[in-house]
Amino acid sequence: MDNTSQAVQFPFARKKVRESTFLRFIALGLEESLSPFLDPYGRNLSRNLSLKAAITAAVLLLSAFLFRLFLPESPVDYVLLTLCLLVVAPTACIESIEDLSKKDINIDVLMTVAALGACLIGRGFEGALLLVLFALSGAMEDAVTLKAKKNLTDLEELLPEKATIIDDGVVFERAVSDIRLQDVLLVRHGEMVALDGTVISGTGALTLAHLTGEARPQAVSKGDKVLSGARLIEGSIEIRVECTSSDSTLAKLVKLITVAHERKPVLTRSFERFGRYYAAGIMTAAALVAAFLPFFGVEFLGDSGALIRALSFLITASPCALVLAVPIAYISSLGLFARKGILVKGSHILDALVICQAVAFDKTGTLTYGVLKLCSDVDPENLRAFAAVERGSNHPIAIAIAEEAIKKGLTLPEVSEFISIPGEGVEGKVSLNGNIQTVFIGSVEGALKRISTETDLMKSAEEARQKGFGTACGVIDGKGYLLQFSDTIREGAAASIERLKSLGKEVLILTGDSKENADRVADEIGIDIVEAQLKPEDKLKCIQQLSEQAGLVMVGDGINDAPALARATVGVSMGTMSSATAREASDVILLHDRIDLLDWMFQQAIRTQHVVWQNLILALLVIVLASMSALLGELSLWVAVVLHEGGTVLVGLNGLRLLREKSR
DSSP character for 533?
A: S
| Blockwise average pLDDT, block size 10, the chain, 664 residues | 37 39 51 62 69 88 89 87 90 86 77 80 79 75 56 56 85 85 89 88 74 57 83 86 76 59 54 68 85 85 80 80 79 83 82 91 82 84 89 78 88 86 82 83 84 77 79 86 85 90 92 81 89 80 86 80 80 74 77 87 93 90 86 80 79 84 63
CB distance 419 to 437 below 8 Å = no
Q: What is residue 18's predicted lDDT score, i.e. its pLDDT?
A: 42
Break the chain into its structural domains and give their ranges. Answer: 7-47, 51-148+264-331+610-659, 180-243, 370-488
DSSP assignment of 180-240? PTT-EEEE-TTPBP-S-EEEEEEEEEEE-HHHH-----EEE-TT-EE-TT-EEEEEEEEEE
Dihedrals phi, psi of 619, to nearest 5 degrees: -65, -45
d(CA 24, CA 40): 18
Active site residues: 362
Percentage helix, strand, coil, to 5, in the chain? 55, 20, 25
d(CA 556, CA 362): 5
Nearest 5°: CA angle at 31, between 30 and 36?
75
Which of 413, 469, 476, 415 has the alpha carbon at shortest distance from 447? Answer: 476
Which of 591, 560, 554, 584 has the alpha carbon at shortest distance from 572? Answer: 554
Dihedrals phi, psi of 240, to nearest 5 degrees: -85, 120
Q: What is residue 275's predicted lDDT score, i.e. its pLDDT?
A: 62
Handedness of CA 458, 464, 465, 469 (dihedral sign): negative
Q: Exposed, middle or buried by CB within 10 Å (0-12, 13-18, 19+), for 294?
A: middle
Q: What dotted CATH number matches 180-243?
A: 2.70.150.10
Give the architecture (CATH level 2) of 370-488.
3-Layer(aba) Sandwich (3.40)
Q: How far is CA 249 from the centre of its chain?
A: 13
Dihedrals phi, psi of 479, to nearest 5 degrees: -105, 130
d(CA 315, CA 109): 11
- 343's enclosing H/E stretch is strand 342-344
Which of 503, 498, 531, 211 has the alpha carbon at shortest distance from 353? Answer: 503
Radius of gyration of the chain (CA): 34
Q: What is residue 505's predicted lDDT score, i.e. its pLDDT?
A: 93
DSSP assignment of 582-619? HHHH-SEEETT--GGGHHHHHHHHHHHHHHHHHHHHHH
d(CA 250, CA 110): 42
3-class SS string, 355-422: HCCEEEECHHHHHEEEEEEECCCCCHHHHHHHHHHHCCCCCHHHHHHHHHHHHCCCCCCCEEEEEEEC
Q: What is residue 583's predicted lDDT score, i.e. its pLDDT?
A: 72
